[in-house]
Chains A and B, each alone.
Chain A
Amino acid sequence: MRNKPDPSAAIEAAYESYADAIFRHCYFRIFDRERGRELMQETFLRTWGYLSNGGTIDNMRAFLYRVANNLIIDDVRKKKELSLDALNEQGFDPPGDDESSVVQRLKDQQILQILKKLPAESRELIIMRHIDGLKPQDISDLLGLAPNTVSVRIHRAMKDLKAILKPQSQ
């Protein structure tokens, strides 16, 4: 039997590898940099809790995305009453007092604006496939859909994205 690695060490290593990716995923899904960071932290904390209770994880990356995905869904559900969309329309991502540069924020804003124009389903898939770089098989596991369906929907999402980018180029 192989020795179980120390959960804290495993999480620290996972943090080094995946913190940015998970943060990006959360940030782009909920359009709020600060909240995205909190959800990313919570994702690692929950995963640590799972490992500490004797759970085993075969694919750390996939597991982290699953936890993050669930947290995002919960978060959106909770915020629905506050009308997240209305808040976002007034101007998402209020400037925080952290040290991320103005330029970075402006760049972020452009990306977020494009993402916001996508239908929710396409947005989710574009983020998972082309920004997070997840395989269609992984996405199908996360969303509980057939791999073929996922592939077809990704193609459709790409079409949506191109339709949004086209007028910008003119």
Chain B
Amino acid sequence: MITLLIKILRAVRIIPRTSSPRESILRPFDVRNDGAGRQQSRMITSSEDFFRQAKEVALSPGERMATKTGLLEKMRGPQKSAPFLSRFFGFYKMTYAAGAFLIAGLAFSGLSYTAEGALPGDFLYPVKINVNERVRDSLATTHPEAAAWQAEKAERRLTEAEKLASVSPLNATVNRALSREFKKNIKNMESNINSMLAGKDLAFAHDLNVAFQTSLKAHAALLTGLDGKKSVAAASAQAADTTLYDYENAGSGTDGLLASVNDAVVRAEETHTAMELTAPDLYSSSAQKTELEQVLKQTEIAVSLLKSNLMKDKKSLSPKLFSFVEHELSCADLALLKAKTATGSERALRLAYAGMSDAKEAELALTNHDIVFEKTDVSNDVSAEIENERHEGTMLSALVHLRMTNERLAAVTLALTNTQPSTPILQISSDLEQINKLVDAANQDLKDGNCDNALKVSRVALADAEVLRTQSEKLPKQ
């Protein structure tokens, strides 16, 4: 009976004919019934379709309005924060003990923080020396940590001296005290560095020593400048005679301290030379050295294989893919070259790994070329985009090469000014000129938008500059 009624109603179109009233609503929107009663919208089968549909996802007008209203309300309304007094009383609700600890802790951390900036003669200076620094003494438990901390302490004494001397000449007592502390720190640092040399932390000891040496030189220059009366020549003459120079003899001004600093510089240089002399033997036994060799060898083999593959397949590859892989491979070459000439095995290892990852990128592009670079698979639109990106990438890479070249050239120029006057440097100077011409040419190419050419030229310039820098480092110094 009921079925009959429904049939009649359907016939006169009071009830729609379809089984689900929802379907008729959904039909205009590409949604179909899959037979099991579930609705499905049309399958997305191409990336263009996918992006187009994804970009259509948006807030409904209602959502958009509601969010905006909420945002404006939050922007206009007062910032939610408890009034000061209620916060204050809220604080008191905590237990007294916890509160007291907190106050003590805050007060002390505040005190020790303020003490960090104290100078000799200040009320808080003893806190800095006897509390803050003692705490850090006990925190530096390993040799490398201890050495780095002692070096930092030594530098702290110098900074204090500089701050004081910038106001008025140092008085003899302060000078003596700072010198004594400085010498003590240096001695501690040296003993830690020696322990490191006996162990396996060679690279760190080397780096720390170099960094410290540079820093000391800077401090020495600053102190000399602050002293005013002393010329650089006089200071270095003192430094040469430093073993005879006792800090007890130091008068006013910074000369006592300065002598200690220069002494430390000389000793750091000696340590450095000693390290360089003994390093080859020591490095060859270390795990780092073998790792470096392995990585270099592996990457070199991979790069040469990829290069031959690239040349073999040149005809079947699109020009874009070809130049991309070529670029990655030359980056790998450069990284390997740098790894071989780098000082310090850690840095060399880092560079070697960078070369390896470049080679991997090249390999990946070469094996996946059908997906990414072949025109048949990518619409013209996307391939134009890729070309655009490649262009940007090339330009950036050329710029980086040029910057690195300039750094090398600056190092060479510095080395040339520091060489003995009698050294023949004609060859280096003319090479330098050649590289400068290359750099100019690359810059011009970049301006003309000829990025590929610029990259090629800048690569040559960088390789030449790198060689020149290694040569210039071997020149006898003044």
Contacts and interface: CB of A to CB of B under 8 A. Distances in A.
B309 interface: no
Contact of B50 (A37, A40, A114): A114
A148 B396 contact: yes
Contact of B63 (A11, A100, A168): A100
A24 B26 CA distance: 23
A45 B47 CA distance: 34
A156 B337 CA distance: 29
A40 B372 CA distance: 33
A159 B71 contact: no
Contact of B51 (A45, A131, A136, A137): A131
Nearest to A169: B45
B53 to A, nearest CB: 6
B63 A151 contact: no
A139 to B, nearest CB: 11
Given A100-B60, A131-B55, A159 B47 contact: no
A8 B41 contact: no
Contact of B58 (A15, A24, A45, A165): A24
Contacts of A168: 43-45
Q: How large is the interface on B (under 10, 10 to 19, 20 to 34, 35 or more residues)?
A: 35 or more
B134 interface: no
Interface in B12-60: 22, 26, 29, 31, 39-41, 43-47, 50-51, 53-60
Interface stretch (A59-67, A82-90, A105-113): A105-113
A24 B57 contact: yes
Interface in B388-419: 389-390, 392-393, 396-397
A92 B50 CA distance: 19
Which residue, B41, B45, B50, B386, has most C-beta atoms of chain A within 10 A? B50
Contacts of B365: 152, 155
B233 interface: no
B47 A161 contact: yes
B67 interface: yes
Contacts, number: 129
A28 interface: yes
B67 A110 contact: no
B71 A165 contact: no
B372 A155 contact: yes
B106 interface: no
Interface residues of A, number: 46
A110 B396 CA distance: 38
B293 to A, nearest CB: 27
Contact of A107 (B41, B64, B72): B41
Contacts of B46: 165, 169
B445 interface: no
Provide the main secondary structure of the chain B interface. Answer: helix
Contacts of B67: 19, 37, 40-41
Which residue, A28, A137, A152, has most C-beta atoms of chain B within 10 A? A152
Interface string A20-47: 1001100110000000010011001100
Nearest to A27: B57
A130 interface: yes
A136 B389 contact: yes
A1 interface: no
Nearest to B22: A102
B68 interface: yes
Contacts of A3: none
Interface in A120-170: 130-131, 136-137, 147-148, 151-152, 155-156, 158-159, 161-162, 165, 168-169
B392 A136 contact: yes
A45 B55 contact: no
B187 to A, nearest CB: 42
B376 interface: no
A99 interface: yes
B393 A98 contact: no
Nearest to B40: A106
B371 A159 contact: yes
A114 B54 CA distance: 11
B50 A99 contact: no
B63 A37 contact: yes
Interface string B72-87: 1011100000000000
Question: Which 6 A-B residue pairings sit nearest by Cβ, starting from the closest?
Answer: A169-B45, A103-B29, A155-B372, A159-B371, A20-B58, A100-B60
Interface of B: 22, 26, 29, 31, 39-41, 43-47, 50-51, 53-60, 62-64, 66-68, 70-72, 74-76, 361, 364-365, 368, 371-372, 382, 386, 389-390, 392-393, 396-397
Given A27-B57, A106-B39, A165-B46, 6 more contacts: A8-B76, A11-B71, A20-B58, A23-B59, A106-B31, A165-B44
9 contacts: A19-B59, A23-B59, A45-B71, A98-B62, A99-B60, A110-B44, A148-B396, A151-B390, A152-B365
